[in-house]
Amino acid sequence: MIIRDPENERIDELNDRGYKIIQNKKGFRFGLDSVLLTAFAIVREGEKCLDLGTGTGVIPLLLEAKTAGASFTGLEIQENVAEMAKRSVKLNGLEEKVNIITGDIKEAAALFPGRPFDVVTSNPPYMTVKEGLISGSDTKAISRTEIKCTLRDVVRAAAAVLKDHGRFYMVHRPSRLTEITSAMTEFGFSVRNIRFVYPKADQECNLLLIEGIWRGKTQCRVEKPCIVFDDEGKYTKEMDDIYFHEVLMNHER
């Protein structure tokens, strides 16, 4: 059965290619940050991509839909969430290209020996245990708060599985930019691109997108800002294009 919990699970339309995704109404559902990450990340023809902490599997599914990558793997520590992501892969008939693995980010080097990936993506928990409000749902708490892994664990894992000059793309909070760049430097990344995301042009930045090159020498480039809503509260043209050509479903903002 594709739906195993009819009371709480639902199937949502994912993009204009007809892909669908299974999500649990009581669990953590993907949002704007994951979508922006798939618009920011580059996966070239024939490349292999790993998504760390994949959750519902939305990032591998969207990247498979929009790129010519050879394979897409999602790593998720929560067995029930990983199992649901596997069902979404099967629902879309993508078993030959998308693979969901149940496992711990901290064990990525052992799970994927030989540095097999050209690209790593991650939308990790944003909040430390000290600052996070632990949700009544374990799934939501693990997705939002560094209970199972820290920011440093995620960057270390990316460094452990990437080929030389492999690319690491992450979305996170701007308040942790210093930590992010410090961890990237520690584990051998050069920061190549940063893009700041603003809810509106006159509001403070609330997300950042960052690209690091492992064992690569590069200068850092700050891209033009991404503005989500215009003055009237409608999506800007860029966001409208992303959502209505790549993502059709209701999402958590």
Residue 18 belongs to a domain:
yes
Residue 2 belongs to a domain:
no
pLDDT above 70 (res 135): no
Structural domain count, the chain: 1
Q: What is the pLDDT of residue 252?
A: 39
Query: Which CATH number covers residue 167?
Result: 3.40.50.150
**pLDDT tier, 212 (very low <50, low <70, confident <90, very high otherwise):** very high
pLDDT above 70 (res 129): yes
Question: Which structural domain, as residue segments, surrounds residue 24?
Answer: 9-246
Residue 176 belongs to a domain:
yes
Residue 4 belongs to a domain:
no
pLDDT tens readout for residues 3-21? 888 888 899 888 777 899 9
pLDDT tens readout for residues 100-117? 999 999 999 999 999 999
Identify the CA nearest to 16 among candidates 251, 247, 249, 253. 247
**pLDDT tier, 213 (very low <50, low <70, confident <90, very high otherwise):** very high
Task: Please give the structure tokens belonging to residue 244.
Answer: 């209505």
- Top pLDDT among 73 and 136 is at 73
Task: Please give the structure tokens belonging to residue 135.
Answer: 């949700």
Average pLDDT, the chain: 90
pLDDT tens readout for residues 146-197? 778 999 999 999 999 999 999 999 999 999 999 999 999 999 999 999 999 9
Residues 6+ apart with CB under 8 A from 159: 168, 187, 188, 189, 214
Q: What is the pLDDT of residue 250?
A: 41
**What is the distance between the alpha carbons of residues 200 and 227, in angstroms, rounded to a whole number?**
6
Pairing of strands 117-122, 207-214: unpaired
Residue 99 belongs to a domain:
yes
**What is the distance between the alpha carbons of residues 67 and 44, in angstroms, rounded to a whole number?**
7
Residue 1 belongs to a domain:
no
**What is the distance between the alpha carbons of residues 204 and 190, in angstroms, rounded to a whole number?**
26
Residue 3 belongs to a domain:
no
Burial of residue 204 (CB within 10 Å: 0-12, 13-18, 19+) is: exposed
Residue 37 sits at φ, ψ, to 5 deg, of -65, -40
3-class SS letters over 178-189: HHHHHHHHHCCE
Identify the CA nearest to 97 among candidates 58, 69, 71. 71
pLDDT tens readout for residues 50-76? 999 999 999 999 999 999 999 999 999
Identify the CA nearest to 122 among candidates 218, 55, 29. 55
The percentage of residues in the chain with a pLDDT greater than 70, rounded to a whole number, is 91
Q: What residue type is 186 in one-letter code?
A: E
Residue 252 belongs to a domain:
no
Q: What residue type is 69 in one-letter code?
A: G
pTM here is: 0.92
